[in-house]
Chains A and B, each alone.
Chain A
Amino acid sequence: SQTIHQWPATLVQPVGSPLSLECTVEGTSNPNLYWYRQAAGRGLQLLFYSVGIGQISSEVPQNLSASRPQDRQFILSSKKLLLSDSGFYLCAWSVGTDILATNEKLFFGSGTQLSVL
């Protein structure tokens, strides 16, 4: 069965420090991968998605970046965190030849609660 791992579960970082959140998927090949952010009391915002190794699409311009060095690994990074980067970050995956085919479900990791102080 497929599983998705996301770590760390919680993270407290000072403003200006770097960030690296990692997400890996097991039990499937060539998944579509996503990074979402959920600010307190708000809906999910898509940050990045990837359809393959080295292929990253950004939905929202900001000081975050994403990389996909391996088929089932997706990394969210920042060189210098801002206060506004605080939030709950979720990695997700789906299977398909295209981003979210009409009958495809999206499967989420357990999330990382990031607090920037």
Chain B
Amino acid sequence: KQEVTQIPAALSVPEGENLVLNCSFTDSAIYNLQWFRQDPGKGLTSLLLIQSSQREQTSGRLNASLDKSSGRSTLYIAASQPGDSATYLCAVLNNAGNMLTFGGGTRLMVKP
């Protein structure tokens, strides 16, 4: 059974810092990995999707990497802003069953 873990569970940084969020998964047989953002009491917004054959994806200040063999992904946020404050979730799409398995999320607070 696929298990997805995100560390740290919560993170507080001053504005302007570059930061890295971590995601690990136990079964490397995945189709893709997605990073989502969730604002308090809101739905999820897809940020980046990395195919299993890809190593990274970039969108603006966000860069997500994938090391499938080691079961790890990182989300790099450059020059963080208070508006980046949210919970970030990663999810993997398994080869078997085609279901997404989500991590518990990292709650990010960027202080002005």
- A contact residues vs B (CB 8 Å cutoff): 6, 41-46, 49, 59, 88, 90, 92, 98-100, 102-103, 105-111, 113
- A111 and B93 in contact, given A43-B103, A46-B100, A105-B49 (Cβ under 8 angstroms): no
Q: Could you name 25 residue pairs across A and B whose Cβ atoms are closer than 8 Å?
A: A6-B43, A43-B4, A43-B102, A43-B105, A44-B89, A44-B91, A44-B100, A46-B99, A59-B99, A90-B43, A100-B31, A100-B93, A100-B99, A100-B100, A102-B31, A102-B93, A103-B49, A105-B46, A106-B44, A106-B100, A108-B36, A108-B43, A108-B44, A111-B42, A111-B43
Q: How far is the CA of A111 from the CA of B32 in the complex (A)?
A: 24
Query: Which chain B positions have C-beta within 8 A of A99?
Result: 98-99
From residue B104, how far is it (CB to closest CB) to chain A in Å?
5
Question: Is there an interface contact between B32 and A103, defined as CB atoms closer than 8 Å?
Answer: yes
